Every structure is written in C-alpha cells, then in structure tokens.
Amino acid sequence: MSWSVLFTRQAQKDARKLASASPALKTSAQQLLNLLAEDPYRQPPPFEALVGDLRGACSRRINIQHRLVYQVLEQEKVVKVLRMWTHYQ
C-alpha cells in the first residue's frame, strides 16, 4: 500500500536548496522520501516524534545537520513534508 507525499511551499524551497547544495544530500533526501511513500513508520532509519510547536510531526536525519520533518495524515494516507533544511528552524 502506497502513501502520497505532499510538500509545503517551504519544503519545496528546501528541496531546491538541498539539490543545489550537494548531490549526496539530494540522494539521501530522495531515499527518505521513497521510504516515506512506502511506509512512514518503517525503521531504520529511526524517526523521532517532535514536541512543542511541531507536536504531531516526525523527524528523520538527512545528514548530521539537515532533517526531514513531516506529518502523517492517517485518514488520507498522506505524508506531508514540512521542512527539509537545517534543524527545525
């Protein structure tokens, strides 16, 4: 069963930054996006549930600096990508 992956405007901007910054970052992010489309709860790589302003969202590492932050909308079978750059800014 496949999930739809949607991007916020900010995530679209972040994706362009990642692609222009490094081919390795782009590849890592694409691998995570493919995993999320298959099953957003599958591990590894591990994910962490966020708190505070981002409560209800999850995060996975793209690399040591960058994170992919997303929400899982169970009813709609949608993964909504919120951010893909830096650490929860």
According to the model, what pLDDT value does residue 86 have? 77
Degrees (nearest 5) of the Cα angle 47, 69, 18? 115
According to the model, what pLDDT value does residue 88 have? 52
d(CA 50, CA 58): 6
According to the model, what pLDDT value does residue 57 have? 95
d(CA 74, CA 28): 25
Question: Which residues, 6+ apart, have CB-to-CB distance to 17 below 8 Å?
Answer: 84, 85
Spans in the chain with pLDDT lower than 50: none
- Stated as kind and residue range, the H or E segment containing 69 is strand 67-73
According to the model, what pLDDT value does residue 1 have? 61
Instruction: Please name which of 9, 4, 21, 11 lies closest in space to residue 59, comparing C-alpha atoms.
Output: 11
